[in-house]
Amino acid sequence: SRSRSIPFIIPPTLHGRDWINLTNEEHVQEDSDPCAIPQAGPRSSFHSLAGAYVLGIINPELYKFPEDKSETDFPEGNIGRLWFSLEYEQESERLLVSLIKLRKLQPPDDSCSVFVKIYLLPDERSYLQSKTKRKTLNPQFDENFVFQVSSKVLLQRTLKFLVYHVDKQKKHHFLGQVTFPLKNETLTDDNKLVIWRDLEKENLEPPSEYGDIQFSLSYNDYLGRLTVVVLRAKGLKLQEESHAVGVYVKVSLMNHNKFIKSKKTASVPGSLSPAYNETFSFKVDQTELDTASLSLSVLQSIKGEKTHLLGRVVVGPFMYARGKELEHWNEMISKPKELVKRWHALCHST
């Protein structure tokens, strides 16, 4: 609905001022003798309103602050949303993490007692833990945590938040998680980032023989653009972990089994469950969707040795894929412009 405009007026007490006509629509005020007898009002380009004079109108829409929809817009199937902030102290090499709040949790019971574990991957053995907030689906934490981490490896690290509910028998129930790679962020002493992310369910299926990879697919039929978001991998079988340089994912576009183009994620130091959150786009005409396919290879580079293939998955049409890989491709086509996210088992066939 259209907002009503607000008149901008001259009060009657100011009618005794002298006005200089600049143009038909512009006037400026000049000081005059305050004891002078009030003169006639301004020229006829102004409108009289109960003894006052309307200079123009103000549009209230121009003075509104942008609305923060992060507390109100929750997608269908949402299991909760987490807010946190980040800051990095260069001199002391400390990563400051503030756990702010959670909203719209979906617990197994009516009442909910919540705590959060915070990891700095690839270290999966140690973590920091919040206090427990009792009987609330919208806990407010406002707690600060510190990780000691060198600036040289900071951007290779990933924050992981695990959210749990404690029931009356003191059993812990997993509610959701957030993984946040730091590689794309500018973290400085004077740059405090406030971030929110939706919780994700954990993939409870046991890892496949060679591990699993999670990624999203999207196709924009108007732009002819195929987008891949490489999210994370888990259960990888690393070669000689102590000498590992890193693990990365290579995404290759094929057409009629002919190589077209490939792109790589950044390398994550030898983690069994690396997180990436990197987006790649390829130009693919709509007429090529029946003959194109994507190959995602998880590779480990080792010092002084060649790169090792840890596993691969191919998604595409019936010509190249079956099962979950074919389903993922078909769902992407049936939901244009929408990101479709799935886990896939890695295979070791070359």
To the question of domain 211-346 being in CATH 2.60.40.150, the answer is yes
Task: Determine the pLDDT at residue 85.
Answer: 92
CATH superfamily, domain at 74-199: C2 domain (2.60.40.150)
Q: Is the pLDDT of residue 40 over 50?
A: no
**CATH 2.60.40.150 in the chain, residue ranges:** 74-199, 211-346
Give per-residue pLDDT as tens, 130-163. 999 988 888 899 999 999 998 888 888 889 999 9
- pLDDT exceeds 50 at position 294: yes
Question: What's the whole-number average pLDDT of the chain?
Answer: 79
- The whole-number pLDDT of residue 157 equals 86
Q: How confident is the model at residue 83 (pLDDT cuts 50, 70, 90)?
A: very high
The predicted structure's pLDDT at residue 107: 72
Distance between CA 136 and CA 153 in Å, rounded? Answer: 37
List pLDDT tens digits, range 247-283. Answer: 999 999 999 889 999 999 988 887 788 888 899 999 9
Over residues 171-186, the mean pLDDT reads 82
Owner of token pair 């891949």: 228
| Distance (Å, whole) CA 286 – CA 317 | 13
Share of the chain above pLDDT 90, in %: 32
Q: Is residue 344 pLDDT above 70, yes or no? A: yes
For the cut 90, the answer to whether the pLDDT of residue 299 exceeds it is yes
26, pLDDT greater than 80: no
Task: Output 86 or 44, whichever has higher pLDDT.
Answer: 86
Tokens representing residue 66 in the block: 């942008």
The pair of structure tokens assigned to 188 is 């400085």
Is the pLDDT at 176 greater than 60? The verdict is yes
pLDDT, greater one: 120 or 53: 120
Q: Measured in whole angstroms, how far is the alpha carbon of residue 108 from the centre of its chain?
A: 26
- The pLDDT, as a whole number, for residue 137 is 85
Question: What are phi and psi for residue 63, nearest 5 degrees?
Answer: -115, 15
Return the pLDDT at 348: 79
DSSP per position, 14-56 = GTTSEEEE-SSS-EEEE---TTSPP---S-TTSEEETTEEEEE
Mean pLDDT across 206-212 = 81
Instruction: Indicate if the pLDDT at residue 104 is higher than 70.
Output: yes
* DSSP three-state, residue 71: helix
Q: What is the mean pLDDT of residues 86-95?
A: 89
Q: What is the pLDDT of residue 48?
A: 52
Q: Is 310 helix (H, G, I), strand (E, B) or coil?
A: strand
Can you tell me the distance from the alpha carbon of 330 to that of 342, in angstroms, rounded to the nearest whole number?
A: 13
Has residue 124 got a pLDDT over 80?
no
pLDDT at residue 225 in the model: 94
Cα(233)–Cα(240) distance, integer angstroms: 18
Longest dimension (CA), the chain: 98
- What percent of the residues of the chain are helix, what percent strand, and what percent coil, each to the nearest 5? 10, 45, 45
pLDDT band at residue 304 using 50, 70 and 90 as cut-offs: low
How much is the pTM? 0.53
